[in-house]
Chains A and B, each alone.
Chain A
């Protein structure tokens, strides 16, 4: 039926109206024709899907299975199925509890500080535009260095003997230096400072972009109406930024909850677990090969927390889009 005879329209004028294909054949060929898009899509998708599937999707699912097991990460340490044992112990393990506590404290302080500073600096840059490009670039600088290097730079800054912070302290206030990384709670606060230093530039640019989306006319109108600076900030700037703020908050929690690099290189969790974080805990347990089961279970816990927060961020982003539309 593929070769259709061309009707001779002049000879048999109305013959051309009759359909060539039966309904059944038409449907079958239509389906086969539509299927070509699947073949094409498969061609374009498979490179990514293979990498993603093998190295992310399958491991994620495997991880759930692993959380009911102990060991199996290296040869000589066979995997043993332990049921819900790991999960019950996540609740009671004191080291993990400390790690979660530290991480939460860190997340709270770091985000509060970095957001406050970022919004403050962003509004300054938004107002004083002269040379703002230089300031933006300079503030962005810490992001260039890998977290490890950023942390190492601060390793010099906070050194007990020659760190500039202690030099200043000794000169200005007097007395002995501060053991920034050797005492609690200084160590965790130092980690906070390092991470705030690293992230500040990003969030300044982030909020600056948000501020610049506040309509200029709105500001001008409020000014004409005699609204003071603080009032304008509260009544116009904050409402405009609020959807952005919530989204940013969720994203920041997701990122900061994974704190690891600077902890690993600066304090390795110490002193006395004072800077132990969740990811540090997972890494430690996995690759010191002690109680890997607990690490398996906490990995999945982390995964669930992040997935929930991701869903929340999408929801917030969707709401923001809706509002803009």
Chain B
């Protein structure tokens, strides 16, 4: 029964067998020593763990810091050896060049328009569709949902050519062609707002709201649209925020579709624009660093404020719960 008295089973493992000594005080001393050894061991392990973790953190955020120095110096000075970490003649020339001789501002504005509109469009269409799938009974509902869900993972690349052709074809049509075409905002946005992930997410989320609320609202005379706007939307705000962040992050980071759909500099977005700064053969490192840094900083600041939401949003994409 002595075993039960000891609360820490870990200590027990290290303890000598009870018959080793009859002397109770010696026994206690040995137990204490074993405990100390164990604790010491624990501490080394902990330190090691934090060292490893910190190492990975350095790797994770290091590359961004490695941009700082080149961004504020003359590109030629990068190539001196031994390397000069802190530029002796810091300069804003790279930024001056970025704003005066490239379309950086235009790209940034385009990115905001592109990602912002795609997010709003996705939120609106997906929430409505999610509501229909969650709450409305209509024949063929499950089949339609299944067909839509099947396209969840369709890669942009797999439908790149036909999507390009679709947008191009619509562009040849009268009137609507002025709005939807290659090198138009809508031509860029609409094919980016097709993913059914949000439909799926919203359906899941709206289904968790108690049935009683809809039923009460219907008996209170509210039609579907009023229920949707006055009851459902206010109650799914958190899900809207999560989906919104997710779509925005995904859209502004996207590259392949903007690369082919917005070739005209007037409609080019940041990802394509910055990539174009890296020349085919010769690269102006300073400008590249400056542009990259300038693009990352605001996102990082926003992220630090809303990190909880960001993490949820990224998980929502994978776990869908």
- How many residues does chain A have at the interface if contact means C-beta atoms less than 8 Å apart? 99
A138 touches B271 (CB 8 A): no
A152 touches B292 (CB 8 A): yes
A47 touches B314 (CB 8 A): no
In this assembly, does B252 line the interface, its C-beta being within 8 Å of a C-beta of chain A?
Answer: yes
B256 touches A307 (CB 8 A): no
Stretch at the interface among A11-19, A34-42, A231-239: A34-42
What is the distance, in angstroms, from A31's C-beta to the closest C-beta of chain B?
11
A258 touches B253 (CB 8 A): no
Stretch at the interface among B17-25, B132-140, B235-243: B132-140
Contact A47:B70 (CB < 8 A) given known A73-B165, A197-B60: no
Give the complex CA separation of A149 and B111 in angstroms.
Answer: 14
In this assembly, does B131 line the interface, its C-beta being within 8 Å of a C-beta of chain A?
Answer: yes
B136 touches A299 (CB 8 A): no
A63 touches B303 (CB 8 A): no
In this assembly, does A154 line the interface, its C-beta being within 8 Å of a C-beta of chain B?
Answer: yes
In this assembly, does A200 line the interface, its C-beta being within 8 Å of a C-beta of chain B?
Answer: yes
In this assembly, does A68 line the interface, its C-beta being within 8 Å of a C-beta of chain B?
Answer: no
Stretch at the interface among B30-38, B45-53, B92-100: B45-53
B191 touches A55 (CB 8 A): yes
In this assembly, does B107 line the interface, its C-beta being within 8 Å of a C-beta of chain A?
Answer: no
In this assembly, does B148 line the interface, its C-beta being within 8 Å of a C-beta of chain A?
Answer: yes
Give the complex CA separation of A37 and B166 in angstroms.
Answer: 32
In this assembly, does A97 line the interface, its C-beta being within 8 Å of a C-beta of chain B?
Answer: no
What is the distance, in angstroms, from B249's C-beta to the closest C-beta of chain A?
8
B275 touches A124 (CB 8 A): no
Give the complex CA separation of A33 and B230 in angstroms.
Answer: 25
B158 touches A299 (CB 8 A): yes
Question: Main SS of chain B's interface residues?
Answer: helix
B278 touches A52 (CB 8 A): no
Question: Which A residues lie within 8 Å of B166 (CB)?
Answer: 54-55, 58-59, 62
In this assembly, does B29 line the interface, its C-beta being within 8 Å of a C-beta of chain A?
Answer: no
Question: Which A residues lie within 8 Å of B278 (CB)?
Answer: 152, 155, 265
Contact A124:B53 (CB < 8 A) given known A48-B199, A55-B190, A73-B165: yes
Give the complex CA separation of A296 and B158 in angstroms.
Answer: 8
A283 touches B160 (CB 8 A): yes
In this assembly, does B128 line the interface, its C-beta being within 8 Å of a C-beta of chain A?
Answer: yes
In this assembly, does A206 line the interface, its C-beta being within 8 Å of a C-beta of chain B?
Answer: yes
In this assembly, does B193 line the interface, its C-beta being within 8 Å of a C-beta of chain A?
Answer: yes
In this assembly, does B247 line the interface, its C-beta being within 8 Å of a C-beta of chain A?
Answer: no
- B46, B170, B225, B292 — most chain A CB neighbours (10 Å): B292
B160 touches A286 (CB 8 A): yes
In this assembly, does A178 line the interface, its C-beta being within 8 Å of a C-beta of chain B?
Answer: no
B154 touches A303 (CB 8 A): yes
In this assembly, does A201 line the interface, its C-beta being within 8 Å of a C-beta of chain B?
Answer: yes
Give the complex CA separation of A127 and B292 in angstroms.
Answer: 36
In this assembly, does B121 line the interface, its C-beta being within 8 Å of a C-beta of chain A?
Answer: yes
Give the complex CA separation of A253 and B295 in angstroms.
Answer: 29
Choice from B124, B280, B310 contacting A47 with Cβ under 8 Å: B124
A164 touches B78 (CB 8 A): no
Question: Which B residues lie within 8 Å of A271 (CB)?
Answer: none
A200 touches B311 (CB 8 A): no
In this assembly, does B66 line the interface, its C-beta being within 8 Å of a C-beta of chain A?
Answer: yes
What is the distance, in angstroms, from B7's C-beta to the closest C-beta of chain A?
11
State which residues 84-106 of B face A: CB under 8 Å. Answer: none
Contact with B along A124-145 (1 / 0, CB 8 A): 1101100100011111111111
B161 touches A37 (CB 8 A): no
Question: Which A residues lie within 8 Å of B143 (CB)?
Answer: none
In this assembly, does A243 line the interface, its C-beta being within 8 Å of a C-beta of chain B?
Answer: no
In this assembly, does A302 line the interface, its C-beta being within 8 Å of a C-beta of chain B?
Answer: yes
What is the distance, in angstroms, from B56's C-beta to the closest C-beta of chain A?
6
Report 5 cross-chain contacts, Cβ distance below 8 Å, ordered by A residue: A51-B190, A138-B60, A153-B63, A260-B255, A282-B160
User: Which residues from chain B sit less than 8 Å from chain A, CB to CB?
Assistant: 9-10, 13, 46, 49-50, 52-53, 56-57, 59-64, 66-67, 70, 78-79, 81, 83, 121, 124-126, 128-129, 131-132, 136-139, 141, 144, 148-167, 170, 190-191, 193-194, 196, 199, 224-225, 228, 249, 252-256, 259-260, 270-271, 274-275, 278, 280, 285, 288-289, 292, 295-296, 299-300, 303-304, 307, 310-311, 314-315, 318-320
**Closest 7 pairs between A and B when the two form their complex, measured CB to CB:** A146-B253, A59-B162, A153-B63, A48-B125, A44-B132, A303-B158, A48-B129
Q: Told that A45-B132, A45-B144 touch, could you supply 11 new A-B pairs with CB distance under 8 A?
A: A59-B163, A66-B161, A138-B61, A145-B64, A147-B255, A152-B274, A153-B67, A154-B63, A155-B288, A205-B314, A268-B280
